[in-house]
Amino acid sequence: MSFLQEKDPEVFGIIERELERQNNGIEMIASENFTLPAVMEAMGSVFTNKYAEGYPQKRYYGGCDNADDIEQLAIDRAKELFNCEYVNVQPHSGSSANAAVYSAILKAGDKMLGMDLSHGGHLTHGAKVSFSGQNYHSFHYGVELDGRINYDRVLDIAKIVKPAVIVCGASAYSREIDFAKFREIANEVGALLMADIAHIAGLVVAGEHPHPFPHCDIVTTTTHKTLGGPRGGLIMTNDEELSKKINKAIFPGMQGGPLVHVIAAKAVGFRHNLQPEWKEYAKQVKANARVMGEVLVERGYDIVSGGTDNHLVLVSFLDKEFSGKDADLALGNAGITVNKNTVPGEKRSPFVTSGIRVGSAALTSRGMKEDEFRLIANRIADVLDDINNSEKQAEIKAELQELAKKFVIYNQPTY
């Protein structure tokens, strides 16, 4: 019997049910992944008990020698992984990382230019419902009818807006981001350039997506998603003065004591990302997403931009009677977990949407390859073709549960 089972059987039972759900389900949310047992072990370590306000060798508490060592190790591994000079590993999330960057480089009311939420951007890229759109004067660029960023159009907007910072990166954009082009635009208007690579970081470090450095002044990311580590954030730069401002913005500006147990887990994750096998994993993530997109197109579904260069496809239902919410629920009933998502030209509310976002990272971590993704993509289309057929959904769920049993998450190596 585990400590948790003995001390709190109710919580233990809920966690057991979640493990069963993850093992038996087909997880395709593009922002999720399955992390390593070693990462989870570090997160559950005795570092949970330690307060360590400040930075290595500059703490406000005693007894931080080991906290210093683990944070410095995480920093050094991140610097090697992303080939950069300065790293802050303390952000609790990608959103808090972005908030700290804005706090470091902007004043309230300053102008920022980011990708429109309904076109694939993120809440923290200036959406009006977010702090980023409330504290700063935010403007947006989007995609064209072909589902791709038009960099000439971005430049036109930037010339009119003259933002202090341009944010590139997305949460639902399936094509490569041209950081060099964004650098040219930023130079043209005298703006700082920040890249949020939360979704593509695992591909970037494997050489499977163009690198934001040396083009970007600041880069933020999460450490889960395609990196497959613990849930957390990261900020990077090659500019010493910017790094000092960012460090002050995180502590004491935005956060108190860092989560040392999560920083330890980040270090474990970064070591894993540095292994040669990671490149093969990232290649497989892209191959699986590509197959998925091809099948859905063959089955008559509209994929925004017509395909994918990364780990996700964005499926549009603008020409369908059903919504993203309807598709999300129907696929969930069939054991396939996706998320409803806004699409370019969105006509429905953000709570309903006209699309779904489907990702390949989590199932690739389980060891699935093109054949499995071809099957799953066809089953997605089967559900969508007859979206109100609960009997068919139940049949597909049973079939996919049998598939999932062949790729158990935590009792075998997956990459």
Contacts of 185 (CB under 8 A, 6+ apart): 151, 154, 155, 158, 166, 191
Q: Is the pLDDT of residue 412 over 70?
A: no
Under DSSP, the state recorded for 253 is I
Q: How far apart are CA 88 and CA 61, in angstroms?
A: 19
The active-site residue, picked from 220, 222, 223, 308, is: 222
Q: Of the candidates 256, 273, 290, which is a domain's last residue?
A: 273
pLDDT tens, position by position, 250-272: 999 999 999 999 999 999 999 99
Q: Is the pLDDT of residue 317 over 80?
A: yes
Using only C-alpha atoms, the chain has a radius of gyration, in whole angstroms, of: 21
Return the biggest CA–CA distance within the chain. Answer: 64
Run of H or E residues at 27:
strand 26-27
Q: Are residues 257 and 322 in the same domain?
A: no
State percent of the chain over pLDDT 90.
Answer: 97
Q: Is residue 228 a part of any domain in this protein?
A: yes
What is the tally of structural domains in the chain?
Answer: 2
Q: Are residues 333 and 353 in the same domain?
A: yes
Average pLDDT over every residue of 352-378: 98
pLDDT tens, position by position, 54-105: 999 999 999 999 999 999 999 999 999 999 999 999 999 999 999 999 999 9
Average pLDDT over every residue of 337-364: 96
Nearest to 320 by CA among 330, 332, 311, 333: 330
Q: Are residues 88 and 120 in the same domain?
A: yes
The secondary structure of the chain in percent helix, strand, coil, rounded to multiples of 5, reads: 50, 15, 40
Q: Is 153 a catalytic residue?
A: no
Q: Is residue 5 a part of any domain in this protein?
A: no
Average pLDDT over every residue of 295-304: 98
Secondary structure (3-state) at 11 = helix
The active-site residue, picked from 225, 357, 379, 392, is: 225
Nearest to 216 by CA among 94, 31, 78, 85: 85
Q: Are residues 294 and 319 in the same domain?
A: yes
Q: Is residue 20 a part of any domain in this protein?
A: no
Q: How far apart are CA 199 and CA 171, in angstroms?
A: 6
Q: Is residue 213 a part of any domain in this protein?
A: yes
Q: How far apart are CA 264 and CA 281, in angstroms?
A: 23
Average pLDDT over every residue of 172-192: 98
State the pairing for strand pair 58-59/26-27. Answer: unpaired
pTM above 0.85, yes or no: yes
Q: Is residue 411 a part of any domain in this protein?
A: no
Q: Is residue 415 a part of any domain in this protein?
A: no
Q: Is the pLDDT of residue 246 over 80?
A: yes
Q: Is 302 a catalytic residue?
A: no
Question: Cα dihedral sign for 132, 269, 120, 220?
Answer: positive
Q: How confident is the model at residue 413 (pLDDT cuts 50, 70, 90)?
A: very low
Q: Is 328 a catalytic residue?
A: no
Q: Are 79 and 232 a contacting pair, CB within 8 Å?
A: no
Range of the domain at 94: 41-273
State the pairing for strand pair 355-359/339-340. Answer: antiparallel
pLDDT tens, position by position, 163-176: 999 999 999 999 99
Per-chain mean pLDDT for the chain: 96
Query: What's the pLDDT at 390?
Result: 97
Q: Are residues 257 and 134 in the same domain?
A: yes
Q: Are residues 208 and 164 in the same domain?
A: yes
Q: Are residues 269 and 378 in the same domain?
A: no
Q: Is 357 a catalytic residue?
A: no
Q: Is the pLDDT of residue 414 over 90?
A: no
Q: Is residue 200 a part of any domain in this protein?
A: yes
Q: Are residues 191 and 339 in the same domain?
A: no
Q: Are residues 290 and 265 in the same domain?
A: no
Q: Is residue 351 a part of any domain in this protein?
A: yes
Q: Of the candidates 229, 256, 273, which is a domain's last residue?
A: 273
The active-site residue, picked from 32, 53, 68, 184, is: 53
Query: What's the pLDDT at 415?
Result: 35
Q: 109: which 2 tokens? A: 């009311």
Query: What's the pLDDT at 289?
Result: 98
- If you write DSSP's letter for every residue of 129-143 in order, what string do you get? TSHHHHHSEEEEE-B
Average pLDDT over every residue of 298-315: 98
pLDDT tens, position by position, 23-36: 999 999 999 999 99
Question: The domain spanning residue 165 has which CATH number?
Answer: 3.40.640.10
pLDDT tens, position by position, 100-150: 999 999 999 999 999 999 999 999 999 999 999 999 999 999 999 999 999
Angle at 301 between CA 298 and CA 303, to 5 degrees: 100
Q: Are residues 91 and 69 in the same domain?
A: yes
Query: What's the pLDDT at 411?
Result: 57
The active-site residue, picked from 116, 196, 294, 328, is: 196
Q: How far apart are CA 201 and CA 95, in angstroms?
A: 15
Q: Are residues 46 and 154 in the same domain?
A: yes
Question: The domain spanning residue 366 has which CATH number?
Answer: 3.90.1150.10
Q: Of the candidates 239, 273, 307, which is a domain's last residue?
A: 273
The active-site residue, picked from 50, 111, 231, 266, is: 231
Q: Are residues 241 and 316 in the same domain?
A: no
Q: How far apart are CA 207 and CA 286, in angstroms?
A: 12
The active-site residue, picked from 51, 151, 410, 415, is: 51
